[in-house]
Structure 1
Amino acid sequence: MKKGSLTIEEFNELLREWSGKRVKVVKHELEDRDETLINLDAISYENGSSIDDYEPRHSLQLNGAGMIETTEDNYEQLPSDEFEIPLEEDAAYQFDGEKLALETSRGNYTIELLGE
């Protein structure tokens, strides 16, 4: 897969190749940073009908059991087997050869494949 800027189709294709593997998702929104480990079973997309900016119109769903870092090196189970990333029409998608990056006006997300 090429490095650099990706289309959503290229981003989707690469992410689907990681299904069945463990990934780390790092989310930066405002002053908040969360790190989540997910056994990625599948990915899906959801279309919503938001009337405000709080609920996203579209979202990427990372499906699989996971854990979220609560404090440094301390993790707890995710409340559900679904991790949602809100999407926007003008989101930017990148791949640096190791990590996928998704940038929206709400925040930045990186998805990294952990050990094969």
Structure 2
Amino acid sequence: MGHSITELTDWLQEIKGSTVFIKKEELSTGLNEVMDTDEVKLSLEGVTLRESMDEHIDDYLENQELILQGTGSIKSDNGEAQIPNDMYEIPLAGAVSVTKEGDSIKVETEKAAYTFKV
């Protein structure tokens, strides 16, 4: 069953104060192959859905972005690092699919897939 970004943000609001584990799988452009995987551990303190109708010249910023506030770390092939500025940003590019899978929620964009677990 498909869910919306609103349902995702509502779920994240409900679990504020919890530790959230996020698995990010970055996809190859034009392919459905995973290029890179990061694992995030975040003590979730806040959730913001940023929406902008402005056109961005370089397409670096998406018109919609989920911003998770809290302290935590990111583990990648390059090692482990603290989350900068206590914020983890998820650009919601292109068609976005939100699927609840048991006790986790998966968000798929045209550039990456994110799986959230408490």
Q: TM tier, shorter chain?
A: 0.7 to 0.9
Q: Distance in 2 between matches of 1:22 and 1:109?
A: 16
Sequence identity (%): 31
Q: Distance in 2 between matches of 1:78 and 1:11?
A: 21
Indicate if the aligned counterparts of 2:41 and 2:73 stay in contact, CA closer than 8 A. Answer: yes
SS for the counterpart of 1:65 is strand
TM-score by length of 2: 0.81
Q: Which amino acid aligns with 1:60?
A: L
**Closer/same/farther in 2, CA of residues 89 and 32 from structure 1, 3 Å limit:** closer
Q: Distance in 1 between matches of 2:81 and 2:5?
A: 31
Tell me the residue number matched to 1:9.
6
Q: Distance in 2 between matches of 1:39 and 1:46?
A: 20
Q: Which amino acid aligns with 1:54?
A: Y
Q: Distance in 2 between matches of 1:10 and 1:47?
A: 16
How many equivalent residue pairs?
109
Indicate if the aligned counterparts of 2:37 and 2:76 stay in contact, CA closer than 8 A. Answer: no
CA displacement, residues 42-80 of structure 1 (integer Å, 9 cap, x when unaligned): 1001124323433211100010001111459x6331222
User: 1:38 aligned to 21, 42, 46, which one?
Assistant: 42
Gaps (5+ residues) in structure 2?
28-34
Moved over 6 A (4+): none
**Closer/same/farther in 2, CA of residues 104 and 70 from structure 1, 3 Å limit:** closer
After alignment, is 100-109 or 8-17 more displaced?
A: 8-17
Gaps (5+ residues) in structure 1?
none
**Closer/same/farther in 2, CA of residues 28 and 5 from structure 1, 3 Å limit:** same
**Closer/same/farther in 2, CA of residues 27 and 9 from structure 1, 3 Å limit:** same
TM-score by length of 1: 0.83
- The question of 1:103 aligning with 2:101 is answered no
**Closer/same/farther in 2, CA of residues 88 and 70 from structure 1, 3 Å limit:** closer
Q: Distance in 2 between matches of 1:51 and 1:45?
A: 21
Tell me the residue number matched to 2:19.
22
